[in-house]
Structure 1
Amino acid sequence: MTVPPPEQTGADPAQPAVPPPGCPAHGLGSDAIRRLYGPEAEADPMGLYEKLRAEHGTVAPVLVHGDLPAWLVLGHRENLDVARTPSRFSRDPRRWRDMQEGRVGPAHPLAPIAAWQPLCNFVDGKEHERLRGAVNDGLARFDRRGVRRHVTRFANQLIDEFAPVGQAELVGQFAAHLPMLVMTQLLGMPEEYGPRLVEAARDMMKGTPTALASNDYIVGTLRQLVERRRAEPGEDFASWLIAHSSALSDNEVVEHLRLVLITAFETTANLIANTLRMVLTDRRFRASLAGGRMTLPDALEQVLWDEPPLTTILGRWATGDTELGDQRIKAGDLLLLGLAAGNVDPAIRPDPTVPVHGNRSHLAFSGGPHECPGQDIGRAIADTGIDTLLMRLPDLRLAVPETELRWVSTLMSRHLVALPVEFTPGRPKQTGPAASATTAATAAATADAASAPATAATDRAEPPRRTGWWSGLTRLLTRRSR
């Protein structure tokens, strides 16, 4: 996440961080308080988490944007304790002392993700059950085979754009676009909205100076969708939320569409990129695949342990004075769930190099009543999308040395910047209107402008034949590992 300039935060980057009175870190000494933003955090977040673990144990005092005090939860058990006990750690940001005292205004970089909204993940108790029930019921109505057909079709459209060239950049040309294309379809939006929403969503999650404008664009687009679906209901998530017995208001429908869209996009895009990188570079994966000891779903779960799509989650707020991990937490304190740090907690993973096939006890989707509701859809998008890509391009290989790969980190996530690959050029799988639609959408995204009108694709690609793909990839990876 971009470091806000001093005029935004009131902090002088040249001076050591000094906690305000009442800060949970007050009295520790300014040299003991580390920022979760800025050069150190953005260069090596996992390294920073381990420093904090060594210095403070399972719960560490930190500073977030504007040098506001917070606690980062590093322990696996402590993360679950916070996530599962809303009576002690509420999801309602209106409890945040710094927000109550005016230090988190509308222009603050964290405002788009911390300001209270009528959302299931910002409330607890009965209201949470009402709102979350509508989301769960809507997501449960999706036919999983239908979702995978959408994924296969859109994956093939994206692959068609670079298949004849023999080279591609898989983050920008595949991983960042596939989840949004699928989610716009599931939500009931025209396909051509996808590329522009990708740009807006990434900008908002980075917390840039234009994050608020990007958020406004997303909300405005979703309001238009709700108006259309109230007049013309369809078989889509927006229509199901509107018609649900929980009687959601238009604002509640819009905010939950935004929640599902952004969360699914951010987490799934990262999961796809991180898994593809592991497929192309990790010797453990190649050896296990060649020996038949790992499947693609296994690989996804391994990535969810080692490189979860979200490194931290903002946040929880203490409902009263309490203790956690030998730290004294005060009412109104902000806590961040350290998903990536908790996944490598030595208490549960003394040797992080040991594979964890089939183990889903990771924190990638958090836990408790606010656990990610659409995680199985995200898995389906990633699994099917990667499967389609590798079946279409069986000799896919990294085009640069692994040491040249770069990441960019924010408060909540760590993105692979680019994944350049090369392969034997092939023919597009789809032609006609479907290919034309994808070409227009890709051109619009590249220009970073409003999406050009495009014809909705109607072709249905055949599901990937897993047996053929696995045998081909096994031969390829065995050959490369020699």
Structure 2
Amino acid sequence: MTTPKAPHSFPGTPAGPPPGCPAHGADPVGPFGAGGLRRLYGPEAERDAPGLFEKLRAEHGPVAPALLHDDVPIWVVLGHSENLHMLRTHSVYTRNSRRWRLVQDGTLGPDYPLTPLFAWQPICSFAEGAERERLRGAVNNAMQQIDYRGVRRAINRHSNRLVNEFGQDGRADLVSQFTDHLPMLVMLDVLGLPEEYNEQMVDAARDMLQGTETANASNAAIMGILERHVARRRAQPDDDFTSSLLEDEARLTDDEVAQHLRLVLIAAYEATSNLTANVLRMVLTDPRFRAQLNGGQMTVPEAVEQTLWDQPPFSNMLGYFAVQDAELGGQQIRKGDALLLNIAAANVDPVVRPDLEANMQGNRAHLAFGGGVYECPGDDLGRAIADTGVDALLMRLPDVELAVPETDLHWTNSLISSHLKELPVVFSPRQPLELSSSPGQTGASRTDWEISSPAPRPPAAGPVPPQAAPHVPAPPVADGSVATVPAQRRGAWRRLVEWVRGG
């Protein structure tokens, strides 16, 4: 936990809490800091981040002043329309952190705990103008080279292998044994990295994103792995995302490629790990989800979309920076100010969602993947990992149930996300599935699902005979169309399928 150093006030705010403010005499990490502003860190933020943001909305409206770690001031954008305006007006609001006043004057240096989240890097997320177009074009081109049918088969394979590791036990923690590892395994495949890096990358990514005292060291460890990988691929290209970036006509440098690999890897891992865990939690605990899935009124992709509204994988995004003086949500934003994209608060803005119980099927107006010129280019990949992974797990464990009361579930909250700590479940023990068969095979048909959450029951006395594994065709990509594979590149899974079929 970070202890405040010197406070940095918004222009016009007092240097300390006003008289009578609860912050007087409070603990250094109490809820209020310089100028009586609420802190986005400390016990209150860790305990109930959504509640904290609703307090800010009630006190200040759609844009609120608040404090980051070490009492660094920032504007929190809470309203849906205000966030959209910020995302779409890139001539006024940029992600180039070198425009942040506190970076320019040296107040925030490389040792600041949140520096890995906003420090300028030669990547499309921080670039502007023609340079952003050059870098973003290379990333988009590399994304288009991904064989999404092959990726879905790989997701299925990794999902079934993870289930094999705990399926005979009749119980598992789906966070530590499934959702924490599936996205990283898939992303290592996409980038062309050996899966032996899985554990190391998971630990380093989680540490870095939480803004701990060792976050910078974890970031350096990740970059070291990626830089060595880029050097290998420069010498020996392969059929992967890394090689596509290196071969792009934009002629990215090795450093630019490594930085973009970090961007894609970390963003996809954290977002998809949280999203997959949240979908599974909602399926296991929300009667609406259970009834609609069992009754066929909702598919897993639709459950994913509802989750992106209700519990987006990233709560906040740090940050955006004012290029000029502006007005936003009734607040006067000054050139050089920092703003926090608050995705979770925007998604529950009462202006756009007066009824939070309303079904959001078919509505993709949520801000889970950002928007504007900085919109996440890997949203389809994230959706594919979540819906295919959840689908595979539910077909392998059709009677899976929550093993504890829902009230016993807890989250680890950081500035940018809420990570479910554990998701303990019980189910009938399952024999391992043979994974040497054609990719795309699963352990049960979709009609075998029995999603329910009654009181936990003890595991069955003996192992359950393995079910037949009918062939399930590879599903379509996220937009419903059938994915095509570029003629000049064939994914490893595609080559394997052709070999098995005698092609």
For residue 386 of structure 2, the aligned residue among 375, 382, 393 is 382
Ranges in structure 1 where 5+ consecutive residues have no aligned partner: 12-17, 432-457
The 1:350/1:168 distance shift into structure 2, 3 A limit, reads same
CA contact (8 A) 1:313 1:338 kept: yes
Instruction: Give distance in 2, aligned partners of 1:150 and 1:57.
Output: 45
Query: Which of these residues, 254, 259, 277, is aligned with residue 255 of structure 1?
Result: 259
Secondary structure class of the residue paired with 1:122: coil
Structure 1 or 2: larger helix share?
A: 1
Q: CA deviation at 1:78?
A: 0.4
Q: Supply the AA of the counterpart residue of 2:297.
A: R
Whole-Å separation in 2 of the counterparts to 1:23 and 1:217 = 41
**In the superposition, relative to structure 1, how do residues 245 and 55 fare at CA in structure 2: closer, same or farther (>3 Å)?**
same
Q: Secondary structure at the match of 2:125?
A: helix
CA contact (8 A) 2:400 2:452 kept: no
Q: What is the match of residue 89 of structure 2?
A: 85
Q: Write the letter of the residue equivalent to 1:234.
A: D
The answer on 1:105 being equivalent to 2:109 is yes
Partner Cα separation in structure 2 for residue 202 and residue 459 of structure 1: 34
CA contact (8 A) 1:58 1:75 kept: yes
Q: Which residue of the partner structure matches residue 132 of structure 2?
A: 128
Alignment of 1:165 onto 2:160: no
Residue 472 (structure 1) aligned with residue 453 (structure 2): no
Report the counterpart of residue 10 of structure 1 in structure 2: 5
- Quick check: 1:20 aligned with 2:24? no
Amino acid at match of 2:9: P
Aligned mate of 1:43, from 37, 43, 47: 47
Q: 1:461 aligns with which of 432, 439, 449?
A: 439
Once the two structures are TM-superposed, the CA of residue 479 in structure 1 deviates from its matched residue by 8.8
Distance change (3 Å), C-alpha of 1:354 and 1:247: same
Instruction: Give the % identical residues.
Output: 54
Q: Could you list the per-position Cα deviations for residues 319-354 of structure 1 after superposition, in whole angstroms to 9, with x for gaps in the alignment?
A: 111100000001100000010000001110001111
Say which of 339, 344, 347 aligns to 2:343: 339
Task: Tell me which residue corresponds to 2:403.
Answer: 399
**Aligned residue type for 1:90:** T
Q: Displacement of 1:464 after TM fit?
A: 4.1
1:34 partner SS: coil
Query: Number of paired residues?
Result: 440
Distance in 2, Cα, partners of 1:462 & 1:75: 42
Deviation at 1:408, TM superposition (A): 1.0
Cα pair distance change 1:23/1:382, threshold 3 Å: farther
Q: Residues 242, 270 of structure 1: CA spacing in aligned structure 2 closer, same or farther, 3 A cutoff? A: same
Give distance in 1, aligned partners of 2:454 and 2:174.
23
What is the RMSD computed on CA atoms of the aligned residues? 1.9
* Contact 1:157–1:430 (8 Å) recurs in 2: no
Q: 1:424 to 1:221 in 2, by over 3 A?
A: same
Q: Take 1:24 and 1:316, find their aligned partners in 2: how far apart are those partners?
A: 21
Residues 151-204 of structure 1: CA deviation (Å, up to 9, x unaligned): 011111111110111111111110010000000011011111112101111011
After TM superposition, give the deviation of residue 292 of structure 1 in Å. Answer: 2.4
Change (3 A) 1:268 1:25: farther
1:131 and 1:19 mapped to 2: Cα distance? 34
Contact 1:25 1:62 in 2 (8 A): no
Please give the alpha-carbon distance, in whole angstroms, between the structure 1 residues aligned to 2:46 and 2:231: 40
Give 3-state SS (helix, strand or coil) of 2:65's partner.
strand
| TM-score when normalising by structure 2 | 0.84
**Is 1:307 matched with 2:301?**
no
Whether 1:185 and 2:179 are equivalent positions in the alignment is no
2:141 paired residue among 137, 143, 148? 137
Partner of 1:69: helix, strand, or coil?
A: strand
What is the CA-CA distance between 1:291 and the residue it aligns to? 3.2
Could you tell me which runs of 5 or more consecutive residues in structure 2 were left unpaired when the two chains were aligned: 22-31, 456-503
Match of 1:220?
224
TM-score by length of 1: 0.88
Deviation at 1:295, TM superposition (A): 1.1
Residue matched to 1:368: 372
Following superposition of structure 1 onto structure 2, how do residues 266-345 of structure 1 map, counting pairs within 5 Å?
A: 266-345=270-349
